[in-house]
Amino acid sequence: MTDQLLTFVQAHLLLFLALGIASAALIANEVHGTLQGGKRLAPKDAVRLINDRDALVVDVRPPADFKKGHLLHALNLPLAKLAERAAEIGKDKTRPVIVYCALGSSQSEAAASLRKLGHTEVYLLRGGLNGWMSASLPVTAK
């Protein structure tokens, strides 16, 4: 069995190298996001936090993307304007904030910015809006 596996790996070395690099990149992305952005919530956990603790939901995508669809009651604060519009979040720095973007790539930067502004509980939506929709949760365009 091991001989067959070794032969297979040798015959497809480039594919195994690509798999290793892709796996390392995914792991590095998760570790970086956790270190920089904080805790990532699965969509079901985000729903629980919204319902139980009245978490504020912040969409950091551009306004055009926000208009196409977003989480219900989400506040659109594009990443590029987050610092100048942060006052729109409110004065309660202890209120939980859930930050999301389309795929989950730029939300870590937004979460770090909100922490610097004094928000104590900032969470990331795992998978961003795409993760939310993959969990068959509703979005709105209103």
What are the catalytic residues? Answer: 101
- Report the phi/psi class of residue 4: left, alpha or beta, with left for phi > 0 and alpha for psi in -120 to 50: alpha
* Other C-beta atoms lying within 10 Å of the C-beta of residue 49: 18
Which amino acid is residue 76, in one-letter code? Answer: N
